[in-house]
A and B are shown apart, each in its own frame.
Chain A
Amino acid sequence: MRFFEFLGKYYILMTKVFSRPEKIKIYRKRILFEMEALGFNSIGIAAIISVFMGAVVTLQMSINLESPFIPQVLIGYATREVMIMEFSSTVVALILAGKVGSNIASEIGTMRITEQIDALEIMGVNSAGYLILPKIIATVLFFPFLTVLSIGIGCAGGYFVSILTGIMNPDTYIDGLKMDFKPFSITYSLIKTAVFAAIITSISGFYGYYAKGNSLEVGKASTKAVVVSSITILIFNLIITQLILIG
């Protein structure tokens, strides 16, 4: 029952979010502001996680695929595929759900309990659209860039670890990265990222917008936003993979 209540409220909020903006120019400014706040400021964490993950994947592949029957070139290939197909879209999205999702839910939740949202409503502003739409657009446009960056940095992480540990020949690793490359896998990854970006911002915005009470409730809303966004991302990962790669 609660699930249907959630869906109904979420749908009503989204109809408000996607209704015609008061002034496009103001929204354009806010989109740029949100791109910096939610996207640009997430480059650091995405880069750090990607470089280590790329390095660890390369190490794991080297250790576990140590066999005369398995060519070493597959290590670079596997690292690239892991980064493109799952890590740089899904895992980075899960991490951003924590960072960006909690940020959005707590920001909007605090605005709710300090009557800032009421103040916007009284001014005649569509508060849901004004606060949530620029965040959705900004992340849908910027997160794919983070994904591309993460793929590049992850693959570079593998390369560095092959040099630093000497676990495999770096040139063979590069050959593996180039092997049997299908550009569509990048498209698939970017589509997933855009969908995940919309999920993170809209669900976190929802929990923030309907926050009630005091700072404790804002904290709870923030936690719920991260949990529900993460679960939804995993479900949609399955659905999108089925639709695009198999279906």
Chain B
Amino acid sequence: MIRTENLVKSFNDRTVLNNITTVFEQGKTNLIIGQSGSGKTVLLKSLVGLHPIDSGSIYYDDVCFSSLGFKEMKDIRQHIGMIFQGGALLDSSTVEDNVKLPLDLFTNQSEEEKLERVNFCLNRVELLNSNKRYPAEISGGMVKRVAIARAIVLNPKYLFCDEPNSGLDPVTSCVIDNLIKEITQEYQITTIINTHDMNSVMEIGDKIVYIHQGNKWWEGSNDDILRSDNKELNEFVFASAMAKRAKLATL
């Protein structure tokens, strides 16, 4: 479980996150949604410590993550997996080496054990026969799968995904969404996904936090969202004609 209390973050004089208090639950896919520039990515990066916060607290289970020093934060980070928007695979390493890197750095396993684990994770994301290929030689969907495999290779307790299906076709997006959902339930991970893909919201959103102009504007489940009368949320979620029809059908 990850909990934030009165989280505030600003850049120069501009407040980007204002008093965000919420809970992201374990074993559930927690979604952060909001318009571009609303502060979603800053919130996600603040949660993992890439952006130091101005005030408030971030708790990982019972540990106050935001008050930890560099070394203690590093220890917790070994339990964190993160999938970046562009995959963020190391360009100079093969698929296999990218997934193996956390094992190389933080375990004392033999080379055979490490390869076994790498292949297990690559199989788990249904990526076969690509071990020796470089990130530039595989498709966007495959890059995301490798990023997921790398994120889960150390059995993380917390998984963060920054727009995991941006730039992907609808079919591949669904595959990636379902994969994240399955992994979350299988390993009881606290998963936080930053997205503005409404299909993801409806399909895998166990808990949804809507950020509007840096404030937590609404939170609830994907069922609640259809019945919500929050004006800004409705404007955002039902912006497309298709979504409006879906809402009318539900009502």
- Interface of A with B (CB < 8 Å)? 22-23, 25-26, 110-111, 114-116, 118-119, 121-126
Q: What 8 A-B pairs come out closest when comparing CB atoms?
A: A124-B77, A119-B88, A115-B88, A124-B78, A122-B82, A115-B84, A124-B74, A22-B105
Given contacts A110-B91, A118-B50, 5 further A-B contacts (CB under 8 A): A25-B104, A115-B88, A116-B90, A119-B82, A122-B81
Complex Cα spacing A111 to B86, Å: 12
- Interface of B with A (CB < 8 Å)? 45, 48, 50, 74-75, 77-78, 80-82, 84-86, 88-91, 101-102, 104-106, 160
Shortest CB distance A37–B (Å) = 9
Residues of B within 8 A of A114 (CB): 86, 88, 91
Interface contacts (Cβ under 8 Å), in number, total 57
Residues of B within 8 A of A111 (CB): 90-91
Residues of B within 8 A of A123 (CB): 77-78, 80, 101-102, 105-106
Shortest CB distance A177–B (Å) = 42
Question: Taking CB as reference atom, which chain B residue is nearest A126?
Answer: B74
Complex Cα spacing A26 to B86, Å: 25
Q: List 14 A-B contacts (CB under 8 A).
A: A22-B105, A22-B106, A25-B104, A26-B104, A115-B88, A116-B88, A116-B89, A119-B89, A121-B77, A122-B48, A122-B50, A122-B82, A123-B102, A124-B78
Do the beta carbons of A116 and B91 come within 8 Å of each other?
yes
Do the beta carbons of A118 and B78 come within 8 Å of each other?
no
Residues of B within 8 A of A121 (CB): 50, 77
Complex Cα spacing A78 to B105, Å: 52
Residues of A within 8 A of B85 (CB): 115
Question: Taking CB as reference atom, which chain B residue is nearest A21?
Answer: B105
Complex Cα spacing A239 to B91, Å: 39
Do the beta carbons of A119 and B84 come within 8 Å of each other?
yes
Residues of B within 8 A of A116 (CB): 88-91
Q: Pick the most buried of B74, B75, B88: most chain A CB atoms within 10 A of its CB.
A: B88
Do the beta carbons of A122 and B104 come within 8 Å of each other?
no
Once A118-B50, A123-B78, A124-B78 are accepted as A-B contacts, the answer to whether A23 and B84 lie under 8 Å apart by CB is: no
